[in-house]
Amino acid sequence: IKIAVIKESGAQERRVALVPSVVPRIAKLGCDLLLEASAGEASSYPDASYQNVSIQADRVAMLGAADVVLAVEPPALDVVRAMKPGAILVSFLYGRNNVELTKALRDGKITAFAMEQIPRISRAQAMDALSSQATLAGYYAVLLGSVSMPKILPMMTTAVGSLRAAQVLVMGLGVAGLQALATARRLGAVTEGYDVRPETRDEARSLGAKFVETGVDATGQGGYARELTAEEKAKVRAVLTDHIAKADLIITTAAVPGRKAPRLIDAEQIAKMKPGAVIVDMGAEGGGNCEGTQAGETVRVGPTTLIGPVNLPSRLAEQASELYSKNILNLLEQIIKDGKVTLDMTDEVIAKTLATHDGVITAEPVREAVE
């Protein structure tokens, strides 16, 4: 089996789908590895750091020879068109938003695994790329916010008196939010967390944070949140306004699957914030958790700085790639046995992660959106 790794083409994308340390483990599955020249360069893995991998200067020829293609971002159409019918693609796909790509995968008879569809079950944790990338993003969001603040996070005693610790509020306590809480606390901030799923209360407390009680439970399906009703939104807003007003740094991470990012902070609430306060809106790519967020931009709203980062994991490309490669390895171990591809469609992980196979869009929500 020939496994090919492409060089990512997105302008903001520095990650690579395979790092050198994972190569021996993939080779053990009975596979030969092909790497597009300089694919790992932007994530600190030069070609020379890959042992027992064939470096390929000709992308089209490499793709034409590959049985399995690995990528990070949804690939460009020319990648799919250069693949053999029946070949496997493993990558983030977001098929509902990438209609042309999904059709090309279907028509090219590609067996495509969408990494964002890995089910959130215990057995699949080691393949869960959304989580591995969100963890790093949550960490980085705190650092990004902290360097835009006119103050430090920890309490500090100096010869001329003590400086107070900063107040950090994290809204949305999924994987990224919990890591943001942990990071802010490690840096010495006083932390508060808020989510609409009450089970996050204990998780926040175990990280040394206070949980903001709003009395609203919006637990949805599969451990995710559901959208709030208008009444619930008003109730939550009344409680949160004071917490927003006293924060020095706010990290927002709220998301509801398949929906626009929920609005957690409006302009009126921003106007009540402390001068110099910073918001890092991790929902920026999904439309923003805050009024006024611009994806990929840092904007000033009065004395408040509003940061709308995109693709945070790519800023930590070395380790984001390392974790992603391991997620992929763990998936490949499910589908490649003794040098052969075997797809067990009765396996929940395979069935749920598959997006297209043999000319059919297998992921139902994607099929509904595309066909």
Site of interaction with ligand NAD (CB under 6 A) = 120-122, 125, 128, 130-131, 134, 171-177, 195-197, 223-225, 228, 253-256, 262, 264
* Closer residue to ligand NAD in complex, CB, 83/169: 169
* Among 38, 47, 94, 120, the one annotated catalytic: 120
CB of 357 to ligand NAD, least distance (A): 24
Decide if 51 is catalytic. no
Output the smallest distance, CB 348 to ligand NAD, in A: 12
Of the two residues 177 and 313, which places its CB atom closer to ligand NAD in the complex?
177
Question: 317-335 and 129-146 helices cross at what angle (nearest 10)?
Answer: 170
How far does CA 32 lie from the centroid of its chain? 29
Residue 125 annotated among the catalytic residues of the structure: yes
Residue closer to ligand NAD (CB basis): 188 or 211 = 211
| Segments of the chain assigned E as strands | 2-5, 32-36, 54-56, 68-70, 88-91, 111-114, 156-158, 161-163, 167-171, 190-194, 210-211, 249-252, 278-281, 298-301, 304-307, 336-337, 340-341, 354-357, 360-361
Name which of 211 and 224 has its Cβ closer to ligand NAD.
224
Q: Which residue is nearest to ligand NAD (CB)?
A: 174
The backbone torsions φ and ψ at residue 299, rounded to the nearest 5 degrees and listed phi first, read -120, 150
Active-site residue 128, yes or no?
Answer: yes
Alpha helices in 193-229 (DSSP H): 200-206
Check if 122 is active-site: no
Q: Which is nearer to ligand NAD, 20 or 177 (CB)?
A: 177
Q: Which two tokens stand for residue 245?
A: 């007003």
Task: Supply the minimum distance, in Å, between the C-beta of residue 286 and ligand NAD.
Answer: 9
Smallest distance from ligand NAD to CB 330, Å: 12
Q: Kindly calculate the radius of gyration of the chain based on its CA atoms and give it in whole angstroms.
A: 22
**How many Cα atoms are found within 13 Å in the side-chain-facing hemisphere of 151?**
21
* Least distance CB 190 / ligand NAD (angstroms): 20
Distance of closest approach, residue 253 Cβ to ligand NAD, in angstroms: 5
Tell the smallest beta-carbon distance from residue 306 to ligand NAD (Å).
18
Mention every residue, 6+ apart, whose C-beta is less than 8 A from residue 28: none
Catalytic annotation, pick one of 9, 12, 21, 125: 125
Is 94 labeled as catalytic in the residue annotation?
A: no
Identify the active-site residue in 224, 266, 319, 367.
Answer: 224
Question: How far are the Cα atoms of 96, 171, 213, 231, 308 from residue 290, in angstroms, in the given order?
Answer: 24, 11, 20, 19, 9
Cα–Cα distance, 260 to 84 (Å, whole number) = 36
Which residue, 30 or 223, has its beta carbon nearer to ligand NAD? Answer: 223
Catalytic residue of the set 131, 146, 314, 321: 131
**CB-wise, 169 or 171, nearer to ligand NAD?**
171
Do the Cβ atoms of 328 and 148 come closer than 8 Å? no
Q: Which of 14, 128, 281, 334 is catalytic?
A: 128
Cβ within 8 Å of residue 241, ≥6 positions away: 269, 272
- Residue 273's nearest CA partner among 297, 249, 251 is 249
Listed residue (44, 55, 87) closest to 69, CA to CA: 87
Residues assigned a catalytic role? 120, 125, 128, 131, 224
